[in-house]
Amino acid sequence: MTLHWPLDNSYARLPPRFYSRLAPTPVAAPSLIALNAPLARDLGLDPAALAAPEGVAVLAGNALPEGAEPLAQVYAGHQFGGWSPRLGDGRAILLGEVVARDGRRFDIQLKGAGPTPYSRMGDGRAWLGPVLREYLVSEAMHALGVPTTRALAAVATGETVWREGPRPGAVLTRVASSHIRVGTFQYFAAAGDTEALALLAEHARARHFPAAEGPLGLLAAAVEAQARLVARWMALGFVHGVMNTDNAHVGGETIDYGPCAFIDAYHPDKVFSSIDSYGRYAYAKQPQIALWNMAQLASALLPVMGEDRAAAIAAATEAVHRFAPAYRAAWEDAFRAKLGLATAEPGDAALAQDLLDRMAAAGADFTRTFRGLASGRAREEFRDPGAFDAWAEAWAARLGREGASPAAAAARLRAANPALIPRNHRIEAAIAAAVTGDLAPFRRLAAALARPFDDDPSFDDLRAPPAPHEEVRRTFCGT
């Protein structure tokens, strides 16, 4: 029986130089680890059919749904600032695009689906650890209200993948509004392929920003979306870890979860990625890196921004310069909400920054401090609670000027500050258990993360910060 999916593959209709057509490489013994039934239903897919052997075969890459046109996309990118003219999907295969019940179009991609012409030295596979990490973190980001790719399923392959040693292989089914990256534009720009660049710009514009006009409209909208996205990351203490241009989504979704992490004890210089030796992608550097990535998008788009090169450069520069004010406004909105404020005053950003500075000095837990503002327990996160109390006086005065009832302010605080984030040590414990065949911790964590703003007492342990011996200081790339 072949599965029927509502597929309409617009990327596959672009010229052949945009991708390589190939099917996933079958795996030995697929078994379902996780299926995101609510997401499946939103996409118009039947969860029961996906969980049946025919469905699992598709999710493993052993069979294709009717209407699939599998392909690996080509792209380039700046990796840690160094230029790579040809990267591409080295271990991911796009099955096709589903048009969901609400009319939105989503890529369905298998990550870890076997080698492609872009695999270079890689094996085209993924192991269970990064697959579960991406599943948990991307779904948590969605529940936290952050634009992101989603996880539809995780499947064990029954095969061994070699990393630092033998690891169980897995495939993630990723759902995204597209997989078009800044690096996709860079690939065609570097090749001098203006025709492809124009087609790509129009495809991305129509797909992500239909109200925008032309390549310049696309650039302006992408800059705005990226600024808002990174402000959301900052408001959650999220560190992406590999903000290379090939991992920068043109529509403003968080994509390519590798060595990402949420901060426990706050410090602006926090870096987790084992390969980020110089802290290029540290927490506080993320806005300037996103801006740099947008400048690369602008340069790539220049050849299709009109005959008058000087005018194109001026317009592109202006669009990129919109990043800073857009980011600033989004950051201030986010942190005003985190302080429970319903109105705006000029001193609000300084008030928020003052709290962050005190948190950094105290090593206060990011999530618990902000969540604790609603319950009055934030001061417990400070080694010297007096440092918090001094700030809280100014905060109380500011709230007082708003005249809001404490109950209304507390409700706003609880809506803006999650009780639960996917803490590193919890993710790693879930992965360690899954490797031994025990999926219970993964399932429990996934269930809890679906409702991050709830104070469910049965998940108290998941909200606790890591004990010193549990603290995870290094995370590894998703390879």
* Residue 385 DSSP SS3: helix
Q: Smaller CB distance to Mg ion: residue 62 or 247?
A: 247
208 makes contact, choosing from Mg ion, ligand AMP, none, with CB < 5 to 8 Å by partner type, with none
Angstrom CA distances, 404 to 233, 343, 414, stand at: 28, 10, 15
- Distance CA(385)–CA(378), nearest Å, equals 9
> Which residue type sits at 404?
A
Least distance CB 11 / ligand AMP (angstroms): 16
The full DSSP string for 324-374 is HHHHHHHHHHHHHHHTT-SS--TTHHHHHHHHHHHHHHHT-BHHHHHHHHH
Q: Give the C-alpha distances (Å, rounded to integers) separating 131 from 121, 167, 255.
A: 20, 12, 13
Rounded to whole angstroms, the Cα distance separating 322 from 223 reads 7
Q: What angle do CA 263, 269, 271 make, to 5 degrees?
A: 60
258 binds ligand AMP (CB under 6 A): yes
Assess 119 for contact with ligand AMP (CB under 6 A).
Answer: yes
Q: Which two tokens stand for residue 92?
A: 């991911």
Residue 193 a catalytic site member = no
Q: In the numeric block, which tokens belong to residue 441? A: 């911790």
Helices (H), ranges, 159-213: 182-190, 194-208
Query: Does 20 sit near ligand AMP (CB under 6 A)?
Result: no
- Cβ proximity to ligand AMP: between 55 and 258 the closer is 258
- The answer to whether 247 contacts ligand AMP (rule: CB under 6 A) is yes
Select from 123, 354, 357, 455 the one that contacts ligand AMP (CB under 6 A). 123
User: Comparing C-alpha atoms, which of 100, 3, 117 is closest to residue 59?
Assistant: 3
Residue 125 lies near ligand AMP (rule: CB under 6 A): yes
Residue among 183 and 237 whose Cβ is closer to Mg ion: 183
Residues 270-289 that bind ligand AMP (CB under 6 A): none
42 binds, among ligand AMP, Mg ion, none (CB under 5 to 8 A by kind): none
Report in angstroms how near the CB of residue 282 gets to ligand AMP at its nearest. Answer: 17
**Buried b / exposed e along 446-468 (16+ C-beta atoms within 10 A):** bebbeebeeeeeebeebbebbee
Which residue number, 235 or 290, has a Cβ lying nearer to Mg ion?
290
Which stretches of the chain bind Mg ion, using CB under 5 A? 247, 256
List the single partner that 174 binds among Mg ion, ligand AMP, none, CB under 5 to 8 Å by kind. Answer: none
Q: Which residues contact 378 (CB under 8 A, 6 or more apart)?
A: 368, 369, 370, 371, 372, 388, 392
Identify which range of 36-44, 120-128, 331-339, 420-428 contacts ligand AMP by CB under 6 A: 120-128
Stretch that binds ligand AMP, among 8-16, 37-45, 84-92, 371-379 (CB under 6 A): 84-92
Spacing of C-alpha 359 from chain mean position: 25
Q: Which of 246, 256, 264, 276 is catalytic?
A: 246
Query: Can you tell me which of 137, 242, 294, 334 binds ligand AMP, judged by CB under 6 A?
Result: 242
Instruction: Give the CA radius of gyration of the chain.
Output: 23
Q: Which does 119 bind (CB under 5 to 8 A by kind): Mg ion, ligand AMP, none?
A: ligand AMP
DSSP 32: E
The pair of structure tokens assigned to 19 is 């991708």
In the complex, minimum distance from the CB of residue 440 to ligand AMP, in angstroms, rounded to a whole number: 28
- If the CB atoms of residues 73 and 369 are measured against Mg ion, the closer one turns out to be 73
**What is the greatest pairwise CA distance in the chain?**
67
CB of 251 to Mg ion, least distance (A): 15
Contact pattern for ligand AMP over residues 459 through 478, marking x by CB under 6 A: ------------------xx
Q: Which of 460, 375, 380, 383 has its CA nearest to residue 426?
A: 460
CB of 88 or CB of 237, closer to ligand AMP:
88
The site string for ligand AMP over 26-55 (x = CB under 6 A, - otherwise) reads ------------------------------
Position 224 contacts ligand AMP (CB under 6 A): no
Task: Provide the minimum distance between the beta carbon of 260 and ligand AMP in the complex, in angstroms, as a whole number.
Answer: 11
- Does the footprint of ligand AMP cover residue 227 (CB under 6 A)? no
Q: Which DSSP string corresponds to 35-97?
A: E-HHHHHHTT--HHHHHSHHHHHHHHTSS--BT---EEE---EEETTEEES----SSEEEEEE
Site for ligand AMP in 86-105 (CB under 6 A): 87-91
Alpha helices per DSSP H over 209-322: 214-236, 286-301, 309-321
Q: Which residues pair with 17 in a beta bridge?
A: none
Which listed option, ligand AMP, Mg ion, none, makes contact with residue 89 (CB within 5 to 8 Å by class)?
ligand AMP
Q: In the structure encoding, which two tokens stand for residue 142, read together? A: 């969605």
- Closest separation between CB of residue 128 and Mg ion, Å? 19
Please pick, from the candidates 107, 134, 256, 365, the single residue that binds ligand AMP as defined by CB under 6 A: 256
Q: Answer yes or no whether residue 122 interacts with ligand AMP by CB under 6 A.
A: yes
Q: Which residues of 235-252 are buried (b: 16+ CB within 10 A; e: fewer)?
A: bbbbbbbbbbbbbbbbbb
Q: Which residue number, 65 or 88, has a Cβ lying nearer to ligand AMP?
A: 88
Residue 251 binds: one of ligand AMP, Mg ion, none (C-beta under 5 to 8 A by kind)? none
The reply on whether position 168 binds ligand AMP by CB under 6 A is no
Residues designated as active site: 246
Q: Which residues bind ligand AMP (CB under 6 A)?
A: 87-91, 118-119, 122-125, 242, 247, 256, 258, 477-479
